[in-house]
Structure 1
Amino acid sequence: MFVHWAGEGSDVIICLAKNTQPVPKGHPPHPSSVFISYDYGSSFVDKTENFKLDNSTYAALDKFYNHPRQKRHMVFRDKFHKMLFVTKDFGKTVVKVKLAFEPADILYYPDDPLMFLTYDSNKTLWITRDFGQSFSLVQEMVKLYFWAKKWPGMWENDTGRALLVQREEPNATTIIALSNIYTTDQSNVSVVFKGADQFNLVGDFMFATKRLSKDYHELYISYQGGQFLKARFDSEFECGGFHVADASETRLLVAVAHTETLSNLYVSEVTHTNQYMFRLSLERLFCYFPNSMWKGSWLR
C-alpha cells in the first residue's frame, strides 16, 4: 500500500492498495484499489469505482503523481493498460485517458498544473497542455529531461521555462534546450552541449560529463544556462566518475571516483568567473559509483 499526505494545510490522504503477488508473464497485473480521506484520516472513501477500464474491469494502478504546487491536481498511472486517470479535485471527479503509448514516468510543469510530460517505454517524450485531453510528441531517443528555471540570458524572454533534454545520438549524447514549448509544438531548439555521457541539473547548475576513455572522464559545469566550463581537480589521479553531493550559490561539493576502491571529496567556491577549481576536502570517502567502483562486492 502507498500512503500519501497531500501536504501542509491539507486534510487529504491518498491510499493506493496493490496486490504484489506475481502474475504470469504477459498476463495483466492484479487490479488496485484507491481510498481517499478528506478529514485527515478519520475516515476513508473507497474511490475504486472511479478507476475502471470498462464496466467490469478495474485498473491496475501502479503510481500516482501530485502537482508540486497545486496538490489537488493528480495523475494516476496504469502502465500495463496504457491508461491515465486525472483529477483536479483530489479524486472527487476522475477522467480516464487512453494512451497510444506505455507511460513510464510523468513530470509536471512547475507553473501550470494542466501541463505535464509523459515519458514512454520507448524513450519518447510527450507533452500535454490540457491535462491529458491531447498529447504532442516532444523528442525521441530521450535519456533524461528537466524543466529549467527562468534564468536570465538565453531564455529570459521566453513565455515559460525551457525544457532540457539529454538525447541519445549514434556516437554519444547531446543536451538540447527546447524553448517556447509552453505554448507551441514548434519550439526553438538549441544545442547546449555535445558528447555528454552523463547529465544532471542541481539548482541553478547543469553538470555534464564526457567520457574520454574507460577510466577517464571530464566534468563540465554551467551556471544558469550559461557556457559549460571544464572543472579542474587538484589531484594526480584520473577522474573515473563524478557525484554532485551539493550545489549552492557559494559552494560546490563533488565526489570523484579515482579507482575501483578510491574516491575523494572535492570543494569549489563559486566565484562566477570562467573557471571551476576544485580542491581536496576529504580523502578516501566511501562512495558507491555503479559500474566503476566496488564491482566485485556485495554492493552490486
Structure 2
Amino acid sequence: GDGTGVSLPAVLDFFTDLLSFYSEDYGKSFHDVSHAINNTFIKKDFGISAGPGNPQQVILTANLPFTESPGGVIFTSMDAGVTFRSVQLPFHPAQAIQFHYQDPKYLVVISIDDGLWLSEDFGNSWSEVHEGVHTFTWGSGLTLFFSSSPKGTARRGELILRRTKDVGKNFTTIAKNIVSFGYIGGFLFTSVMEKLGSPRVIYVSSDQGDHFRKAQLPSATTEQFYSVLDGDEDMIFMHVDNPGDTYFGTIYTSDDRGILYSKSLERHLFGGEGKSDFTNVTSLRGVYLTNILEEDGRIRSVITFDRGGRWRFLKKPENVNCPETSKKCSLHIHGEHSHFSGITPMLPLSEPTAIGLVIAHGSVGDSISAARPDVYVSGDGGYTWWGTLRGPHHYSILDSGGLIVAVEAHRDRQISSIKFSTDEGQCWKVFNFTDHPIFLAGLASEPGTKTMNISIFGYRPDDDDQPMWVAVTIDFEHLLTRECGEEDYVQWLAHSDYDSDPETDGCLLGYKETFRRLKKLSACRNGRGYVVSRQQRPCPCTREDYMCEYGFYRHENTSECLLQPDFLNQTQDICLNGELEDLQNTGYRKIPGDKCEEGVRPPRREDVFKKLCGKDISPTSANSHTKRSKNMAVEHLFIVFLFAAGHAGSYCGVRSYDKT
C-alpha cells in the first residue's frame, strides 16, 4: 500500500491454493473478489506479484494444469485488485513474473520450456524473445542480462551470457561458456575457469558488460565458491570459500570499481546449505553484522561500523549477566543459520526510516547458544544493546521506529496478546487482541514501517479439528492518539562514543551525520508523512578512512598496512594484464564512499612497488600508462549470489537478569 489503505488482494490458505480477497482498510476487513477472477485458484508458490513503483499494479497467476491448457492465465489489475483483466498466455510461467524496477509496464518471465517472454504493456501482450534461457536479471535502464544454452543443454560451462538494451529487439553476446552470473550495485559479475581444469576467477564489468576485468581475488577450486554478500555503487562485499567442507571462508571488500579487493574478515561462517548470517544494518550507514567460526568450533558474532574496515565483538547488554563459566562474554546474534534451523522465527530487523534501531534474537556468553534465544534491541546501530524480551518472538517496526510490536512465538501454544513499546524496547505494554486464542503464523505491516497498523495471521481448530484461518488487524492510532510535536524530537549524532575529541567524534567514512530523532520517552506518533532529517559535515582524513591496498593486510596490533609475504610472487597476472597502474603506491586506498578532506595522508611505499614487474610506478610513470580493459575469455564458472479490542497491561524489562 501507499497510504490508500489497500492491502494485497489475497490471503494464503496453507493447505490449498490462493483464494482471492481484497481489503481497503489495511486488512481490518476483507471482501471476496473471487468472482472477479472467475473463481480461479491462484498459484500458492508464485501467485501474486505487485509492482515495485506502483502498488496499484497487481498480477495474479492462475493455477492451471500444464497438460490441460496450451498456456497459462494471468489476471492483471491497475487498481490493487478492485477490478481484474484476464489474459490468456501463449506459454506456462515457470516462475513469478518480474516487473522492471522503475517502469512496471515492462514484464519478463521464463516459461516451463525455457523461453524468455517479454511484455511491454503490463501483460496484455507477450512475445518470446529468446529460447533456452536459464536465468535473467534487469540491468541499468532497459538493459536485460540472461544466460542461455545454444544447444539446449544446461551442462556447466556451455551457457552464454547475452544482453539486450532494447527489450529483446537486438542481442549481444558478452561472454561464452558460462554457468551463472550476477548483477548488483551496478557491477556485473561472472566466475571464470580460464583453462580447462584450472581454478575459477571472477571477472567484473562496471559498464553493463561492454568490458570485463579480472577481479584481484584468490582463485576458487571446484570445492569452493564465490558469493556476493552485499553491494552498492561504491563497493562490494565478496565471500571466498575455503577449500573442503570447512563451513567458513574470507570476506573481501572491493574498491569503487569492483576490481581490487582487500581482506576484511577471516573465518566467516557460511553454511553448506548456502546460508550466511551476513546482515546489512540498514538503519545506520556502514554497519554490518555476521558470525565467524572459531578454530575450536564456537560461533561468535562480530560487527563493523566502517563497511568492513574493522570488525569487533558485540558489547554485552548492560542489563544482562554473563554465565559464570564465561571468559570472553559478549552478545551473539542469531542469523540465517538459526532461522533456517528453526531456532528463531525471525532474522535481525532494521529499517532505513527507523534511525539506529536494530532488533534481533541473540544470546550472551562466550559463543552463540542453541538454547531458546531472547530478543535484544539496539538504538544506536549496534554499539550498545538491551535485553528486552525473554524467548523467541515475531516482531515488527511501525511508525518509522516510534513503535515496536512483538508476539511470542510458540509452536505448541496459542496466543491472544501482543506486546508494544514506544521507547525502543525498554518498557512494554501488553494488549489482548482476542478472546479466542490462535496459533500464530506471522505478522504483516502495511504499508511498511510508516504504518500504525499490524496484522496478526494465524489459525485455530474448528469443531471438526480443522484449521480455521484468522487475520486480526490492530490500529495503534487508537492507542497512540497524540501527534508528535517539535518538542518530542532531539538532535542525535550517529557513531558517537561521547568520550572522544569533539572535532572527530561521530566521524565515519569521512563525515558526521546528525539526525532529528524521536525522544525515547515521547509516546506519540510520527505519522505517515514523517521524513528522516539529517545534516552532514565532512571530517579531516585519518588512518581509519583508508583500507589496505590489494596485497597488503592490516596487522592486528597496529593500524599500519603491511605487505603480504607472498605478494611479490603473485603479481605476474597483474603485470601481464597491464593492471599494475591500478595499484596505489602507498599500500593504502581510501574506503569507497569515504568523504574525508585533507588531514592524514598515508606514507608512500615506492620501495616496494618499484620491484613489481620490474617497473617504477611512481605517480609520474603510472600516469603514463594507457589504461586498458580486456574482454573476457570464459570456459567454466560457478558463482553463488545471495541476493520481505481487548485489555491492556504494562511492564518494563528487568534491569538485570541471569543468563545461564
TM over 0.5: yes
Alpha carbons 1:76, 1:84 under 8 Å: kept: yes
> Pick from 202, 206, 214: which aligns with 2:188?
206
Pair 1:102–1:238, CA change in 2 (3 A): closer
Tell me, in whole angstroms, the C-alpha distance in 1 between the residues paired with 2:198 and 2:25: 56
Cα 1:188/1:108, change in 2 over 3 Å: same
Deviation string 1:21-56 (CA, Å, 9 cap, x unpaired) is 4xxxxxxxx56311111122232111111122xxxx
Is 1:267 aligned with 2:252? yes
Aligned equivalent of 1:12: 6
TM score, norm. by length of structure 1 = 0.76
With over 3 angstroms needed to count, the CA separation of the structure-2 counterparts of 1:215 and 1:74, relative to structure 1, is farther
Greater shift in the superposed pair: 164-173 or 132-141: 164-173
**CA-to-aligned-CA distance 1:131-163 (integer Å, 9 cap, x gap):** 22221011111111111113xxxxxxxxxx111
Indicate which of 207, 210, 214 corresponds to 1:224: 207
Tell me, which stretches of 5 or more residues in structure 2 are unaligned? Answer: 66-71, 152-156, 275-339, 342-660
User: In the alignment, is the contact (CA less than 8 A) between 2:255 and 2:261 conserved in 1?
Assistant: no
Q: Map residues 34-183 of structure 1 onto 2, 5 A cutoff.
A: 34-52=20-38, 58-62=40-44, 63-81=47-65, 82-104=72-94, 105-150=96-141, 161-170=142-151, 172-181=158-167
* Larger RCO, structures 1/2 (Cα 8 Å, 6+ apart): 2
Which aligned runs of 4 or more in structure 1 are off by greater than 3 angstroms?
17-21, 211-215
Q: TM-score, normalized by length of structure 2? A: 0.36
SS at match of 1:285: strand
Whose strand fraction is larger, Structure 1's or Structure 2's?
1
Residue 47 of structure 1 aligns to which amino acid in structure 2?
V
User: Deviations 1:72-130 (Å, cap 9, x if unpaired)?
Assistant: 01100124352101110011111111223211221112333332112211111111122
Q: Secondary structure at the match of 1:207?
A: strand
- Radius of gyration: which is bigger? 2
**2:241–2:250 contact (8 Å) kept in structure 1:** no
Assess if the C-alpha contact under 8 Å between 2:147 and 2:162 holds in 1: yes
Contact conserved, 1:238 with 1:258, CA < 8 A, in 2? no
The amino acid that maps onto 2:129 is V
In 1, the alpha carbon distance for the partners of 2:245 and 2:196 equals: 18
Q: 1:253 aligns to what?
A: 237
The sequence identity of aligned pairs, in percent, is 21
| Aligned residue number for residue 32 of structure 1 | 18
- Identify unmatched segments of 5+ residues in structure 1: 1-5, 22-29, 151-160, 292-298
C-alpha distance 282-215 of structure 1, shift in aligned 2 (>3 A): farther
Q: CA RMSD in A?
A: 2.7
Alpha-carbon distance, 1:201 to partner? 0.8
Q: Corresponding residue for 2:170? A: 188
Change (3 A) 1:290 1:108: same
For residues 221 and 147 of structure 2, the distance between their equivalents in structure 1, rounded to whole angstroms, comes to 25
| SS of match in other structure, 1:84 | strand
Counterpart position of 1:288? 271
Query: Is the Cα–Cα contact under 8 Å of residues 234 and 278 in structure 1 kept in the other structure?
Result: no
